[in-house]
Amino acid sequence: MNPELILVDDDSVLLLVLQKMIRRISPESQIDSFSSGKDALDFLTSNSDPTNPIFLLVDINLNDMSSWDFLSLLQTRNLQYHKIILMTSSISSSNSDLARKYPSVIGFFEKPITFENFHQIFEMIRKEKKALTFSVKMH
């Protein structure tokens, strides 16, 4: 089962670079990219299935909202079952502390994102999917 990934960053060049990196590691992954949090939320609202969580790589500082606003809106729209990996160029430890307060956040990475980071991200996704499969079998 290949992951469905959504990239959310207002830097269009970085979105292209991240897509190419993901394709090298996991060519079968389905990838959608958005340069605004609002567009990503609208997509998720109309294309979500609670039995198939989507994994999102979200920049902390978007042009139209912060990732904290994004996470709050996910909860408001009952989309908190999606799993979030935050990315930032900020070195503030308060960001990683705040990220831990959201159960949907499974990872936090400082930019630039490397191939090693993507291997870590795909390992997180694998573990999350395994836990979800186990949870579904238990019901």
Residue 107 confidence class, pLDDT cut points 50, 70, 90: very high
Q: Which structural domain range is residue 19 located in?
A: 4-138
* CATH number for position 100: 3.40.50.2300
Identify any residues that bridge with 105 across adjacent strands, giving them in sequence order. Answer: 84
Count of the separate structural domains present in the chain: 1
- Residue 49 pLDDT exceeds 90: no
pLDDT of 94 strictly over 70: yes
Report whether pLDDT(3) > 80. Answer: no
Output 3 or 12, whichever has higher pLDDT.
12
pLDDT of residue 134: 57
pLDDT, residue 135, reads: 54
Distance CA 38, CA 24 (A): 28
Q: What is the pLDDT at residue 139? A: 47
Strand partners, 20: none
As given in the structure block, the two tokens for residue 95 are: 């960001």
| pLDDT on residue 14 | 97
**Contact 84/106 with Cβ under 8 angstroms?**
yes
- Regarding pTM above 0.75, the answer is yes
Selected residue with higher pLDDT from 43 and 49: 43
Average pLDDT, integer, range 91-113: 90
